[in-house]
Amino acid sequence: MIYDAGAGHRSTANALQKVIEQRKLPWEVHIVEAFKEILHTSASQDFYNKFVLQKTWAKIINEPLLVPSFKLQIRLYHSAWLARLKKYWQQHQPDMVVSVQPYINRVLCESLQAALPGVPFVTFITDHADCPPHFWIEPQEQFLICPTQKAVEQAKNFGYTQEQIFRTSGVIIQPRFYEPVTVDRRAERQRLGLDPDLPTALITFGSQGSNVMLEIADSLEKSQLNLQLIFICGRNEELAVTLRRQQSRLPRFVETFTSEIPYYMHLSDFFIGKSGSVGVSEAVAMNLPVITDCNALSLFQERPSAEWIADNEIGIVVRNFREINQAVAKLIQPETLARYRANAAAINNKAVFEVVDILSGILEQAQTNQERDRTPKLRYA
């Protein structure tokens, strides 16, 4: 069960499906966008993708207005959504339901238990923590897969037992990020019109891009720094056109939505972007130090990722991107860059493989329990 607000939830589901296929497990996997396909609404994710992720002004109203309004909608529609979900489970008869989406895990789990008692419900938290409370974790009979110790402690505070909690080494990223990129960096930089030897920043703000990238580009252009920039603008074609048309002192390459993120990270020396858990985890998997921001306008679910970056010393967290020049100047010092790269390399995140093992164990136990329940019990006189 996924939610197409941003790209992280679908990316997580696709990554799991890829590993399941690679292992040739006898599972039939269905990736379901619950709001669109079952609850028949897409207004919240459409607004989030078009405005909150792209426009700074929308972030100002996100927490005080948009999030409470969305939570109120969930409460008001609980009974109707419960009925639709129960009907869906009865029609499709899943052996296990895995949620990689926030907000509606209560109604997902409640409807499944009502329709198909004994079928396990599993939530994998795709952020570094449950922020704010009840965003991911609800006090209910389910399994929780937690990417950090902080999330584990939050689950325990909700009353989850050790048997219900599974800890992974991080958030799920695509298995492609574990495969070596064998192209020659210097030659490929030249092919893209870049300098083969300059420090190279990869600047991306997820699948929808962000106008903040224009501010970062302008600030770096006005600095005395000697580096070059790779911009990944996602589905924001207007942003890409603007960046391509600008006169630039610094060498730059601009790309729109692409599946070749590992390739562009291989060509880069460090990452600049929002502190989304999947994006920064991909960068760290490629040994790229991260520069991100954290302030009152940062999306609440992304703030734990900024804390994770700072705590593990794998990058620099600024109050806002007006400080980008100072952060880049500090990071590209050879000793500093080497230290951060070594810290990133020390984080061995294998979550996508671990989660498939966890799901296999949960499913096997559930099937064993069902077999036991079906076995006739002998009665003795």
Residues 137-159: tens digit of each pLDDT: 999 999 999 999 999 999 999 99
* Segment 270-274 mean pLDDT: 95
Q: In the sheet that 315-318 helps form, which strands lie side by side, from edge to edge? A: 252-255, 228-232, 200-204, 270-272, 290-293, 315-318
User: b vs e for 105-138, b when ≥16 Cβ sit within 10 Å of the residue's Cβ?
Assistant: bbbbbbbbbebbeebbbbbbbbbbbbbeeebbbb
The per-residue pLDDT for 15 is 95
Does the pLDDT at position 44 exceed 70? no
Interatomic CA distance for residues 172 and 124, integer angstroms: 9
Interatomic CA distance for residues 375 and 377, integer angstroms: 6
* Segment 9-27 mean pLDDT: 95
**pLDDT digits over 210-235, tens only?**
889 999 999 999 999 999 999 999 98
Q: For residues 82 and 107, is the Cβ–Cβ distance under 8 A?
A: yes
Phi and psi at residue 234, in whole multiples of 5°?
A: 60, -140
The per-residue pLDDT for 60 is 62
The per-residue pLDDT for 378 is 53
What the chain holds in terms of domains, given with CATH numbers, is 8-173+349-372 (3.40.50), 181-345 (3.40.50.2000)
Interatomic CA distance for residues 315 and 291, integer angstroms: 6
The per-residue pLDDT for 381 is 46
Interatomic CA distance for residues 237 and 246, integer angstroms: 15
The per-residue pLDDT for 295 is 86
H-state helical runs in the chain? 8-22, 34-37, 43-47, 56-61, 67-76, 78-92, 105-115, 149-157, 185-191, 212-222, 237-245, 261-266, 277-285, 303-311, 324-331, 334-345, 351-374
What pTM did the predictor assign?
0.88
Least confidently predicted of 5-14, 191-200, 272-281, 284-293 = 5-14
* Segment 101-112 mean pLDDT: 94
The per-residue pLDDT for 75 is 87
* Segment 110-133 mean pLDDT: 94
Interatomic CA distance for residues 266 and 253, integer angstroms: 14
The per-residue pLDDT for 299 is 78
Does the pLDDT at position 67 exceed 90? no
Q: What percent of the chain has pLDDT over 70?
A: 91
**pLDDT digits over 77-86, tens only?**
899 999 999 9
Does the pLDDT at position 239 exceed 70? yes
Phi and psi at residue 165, in whole multiples of 5°?
A: -110, 135
User: What's the mean per-residue pLDDT of the chain?
Assistant: 91
Q: What percent of the chain has pLDDT over 90?
A: 75
Q: Which two tokens stand for residue 248?
A: 């630039």
**pLDDT digits over 299-317, tens only?**
788 889 999 999 999 999 9
